[in-house]
Amino acid sequence: MTATVENTLTHSSIVPVQVLLEQYAISHPEIDSDEALEAQLDLIERAYHFSTLHHAGQVRKSGEPFMVHCTQVVLTLIGLQLDAVTIAAGLLHDVVEDVEEVTIEQLAAEFGEEVAVLVNGVTKITGLSFRSQEELQAEYFRKMLVSMAKDVRIILIKLADRLHNMRTLSFLEEEKQQRISLETREIYAPLAHRFGMAKIKSELEDLSLKYLSPDVYRDLASKLDQKRAEREKLIDEIRQPIVKALKDAGIDATVNGRAKHFYSIFTKMQRRNRPFEEIYDLLALRVVTDTVPNCYHALGIIHTLYTPIFDRFKDYVSRPKMNMYQSLHTTIIASNGETAEIQIRTREMDRIAEVGIAAHWLYKEGREEVRDGENREDWLSQALEWQTDMTDPKEFMSYLRMDLYDDAIFVFTPRGDLKELPQGASVLDFAFAIHTDIGLHCSGAKVNGNIAPLAGKLQNGDTVTIFTSPHQTPSSYWLDIVKTTKASSKIRSWFRKATLEQSISLGEDLLDRELKRLKVKRKVTDELEGLAKEYGLPDANRLYAAIGRGEYSAAQVAQRLLPEEPSEEEPPRESVLTRFVDRVRRSRGGVKVTGIDNLMIRFAQCCQPVPGDPIIGFITRGRGVTVHNKECANIVDDLERRLEVHWDVEKDQFFVVGLRIFGTDRPGLLNEISRTITDAGINITHAAMDTTDGMADGNFGIEVEHLSQLDRLIVRIKKIKGVDRVERETGVKYGNVSEDVFDHLEQDPGN
């Protein structure tokens, strides 16, 4: 079939339209209606001529006409026995991207909506601005994932496209060769593996190795070539007895040697830390028969002829891989002492092993029915689910690479349902594989009837029972024990949601208290919605969250909700920023300098003194007097620049101080600390809580009137369950305004 065409045409030849049409007809013997075949061939021919017309004059880096690429991509797609719509889309896959006047809408009008959807799925993102190449790459693959979920043929076109690009990569400069080869090895080859397309996967891996490690590639090629004759002789010595024994048993089968790919040999050398000369299992054979019973019969015959290595046996016939792959794998020791890997499968399995998901497409088209219970696109469904939780491009690409690479183990539920997980997966990963809610509330487990920790690593064939509790919620250390992308993304999503909910609750509480203090009794819900829009936020909840996170103070927002002219009896409380700037500009600011008036006063951010702290003044050049705590390590030993100062605080004058709170992480800790502070009548300027390995580290900015008020608050906070210690913080920022801004205001108070 297409093998003949590929032998007579190089990868740099334009395949004539007549050849493509003939090969398509040969690859689809199931089309029994001349009328149907003619309609499909007409679609392909029209797409061919459209592509030829619009790519006219365009050349690739090799200097060859662009149509070389289009027809070579289609030759691969025909080899996968794909339908006419996919072939047409393959011919047109670059026209929208490379020809300005051609649009997706035009393709839909000319060739139908189905063709247009496929072309759009493989078209690069244009017309948008991205901050980095990585962000552009992440958004492209995100788009491709979403498109693939709608129509899996999109990835088949993209893989054929990448395959020809890799075959002709030598014409690009070295930097592009490296970048494209790395992307191919990390994304496209694993994608081909995920979709069961072994032939394309192996060629992509070998070509990637050729450009990423050219010396290694040349060395392997040379050594394999030198030993080819010896290897073929050894394979034939193993093969002949198998052929005879199968024939004697009446089993219809073919037995052939198969080539080990460069990349698989290279990874084996790396994994075992051995040179090429010490990699002994380079011999490989494949037995292809007609029925599943004959596969097992052939296995028994081979094991009577040769000694099997039992821990290397794998049964993927009764337990297919998620990418549709089925085969029996056994490794035997031949009479000459050499080891050989043997795969045994049916002809249908052999076809699926080569073309993977493309064979599934044929089933969907009606050649055969897909067997009940099979969900061949499980990974794609999961990938589509977790990608929605990823907002950071770097995080998305990292998870995509990790998710594509994983080798699989098979684990059972108590009812015997099979779950595929990556090597190294934990009990907690299994819980999330069953259902997100089960994972989020997983409180314990049994593995093979024995109590097991959530972090316990699972082995092939384990049976796992999961226990849940409505009171159980994720802990930060869970992120350290899960391996699957689904579990990790769902845990992170839960924390983001929980943090948002806590921030909303805290912000709402802070604003309610401030409005009560200002005696605002009317409902402000509608006003808050409008105010949120003014702040550039989508709704009132996001404004509450911003208050809870300290991005805006409750006093600042409350001021915006007051009437234009507040009553004299109840003057509005100033924002933190307004009070601070006013404090800087006033001559005294709560501190009196002995014997001198009208000096600019500022409070040192290194020690943040509050009334009750012993203080000392220090004359700063051009910036008045800076007030420090007398015990501050940053006081300069220049006695001539020191001034005696003492507190002269007016009523309702507040001072910002930072608190650092350490403890054990638990749900609601941030909320309880915040409520303790506000219940003490103290305003919070900002609040943040980081958690690592089950420990909490909180940073709070608060406004106090004097030291005794601060001391009483610290005693209260220490009584909260989970809090280990509380320290005064230094260098606190005021909302989103850093100390540098205040320094600028002090230097130029007229602004």
Q: Which DSSP symbol is given to 62?
A: T
Q: What one-letter code names the amino acid at 364?
A: K
Contact indicator for 118, 394 with CB cutoff of 8 Å: no
Among the listed residues 630, 633, 662, the one whose alpha carbon sits nearest the alpha carbon of residue 643: 630
The number of helix segments (H) and strand segments (E) in the chain equals 32, 21
Q: 497 with 505: CB under 8 angstroms?
A: no
338 sits in which H/E element: none
Do residues 245 and 306 make contact, with C-beta atoms less than 8 angstroms apart? no
Distance CA(132)–CA(621), nearest Å, equals 44
81 within 8 A of 352, measured Cβ to Cβ: no
Amino acid at 457: K
- Cα–chain center distance at 50: 38
Residue in 239, 208, 195 with CA at minimum distance from that of residue 353: 195
Q: What is the DSSP letter of 65?
A: B
Between the alpha carbon of residue 622 and those of residues 75, 228, 403, 628, the distances in Å are: 78, 84, 59, 17
From the list 64, 98, 183, 315, the catalytic residue is 98
| CA-to-CA dists, residue 99 to 104, 143, 573, angstroms | 11, 21, 62
- Which of 23, 31, 21 lies closest to 4 in space, CA to CA? 23
Query: Is residue 97 among the annotated active site residues?
Result: yes
The candidate with the shortest Cα–Cα distance to 68, out of 51, 81, 83, is 51
> Do residues 518 and 569 touch, judged by C-beta distance below 8 A?
no
Q: Which of 180, 199, 194, 187 is nearest to 76 (CA)?
A: 199
Here the tokens at position 127 are 């017309």
Nearest Cα neighbor of 324 from 256, 380, 387 is 380
Question: Which member of 97, 186, 338, 739 is catalytic?
Answer: 97
* Residue 214 Cα distances to 56, 206, 260, 654, 686, angstroms: 35, 11, 18, 68, 55
Which candidate, 516, 439, 449, places its Cα nearest to that of 478? 439
Q: How far apart are CA 733 and CA 287, in angstroms?
A: 71
- Assess contact for 573 and 555: CB atoms under 8 A: yes
Q: Both tokens of residue 509?
A: 């509480």
Positions marked active-site: 97-98
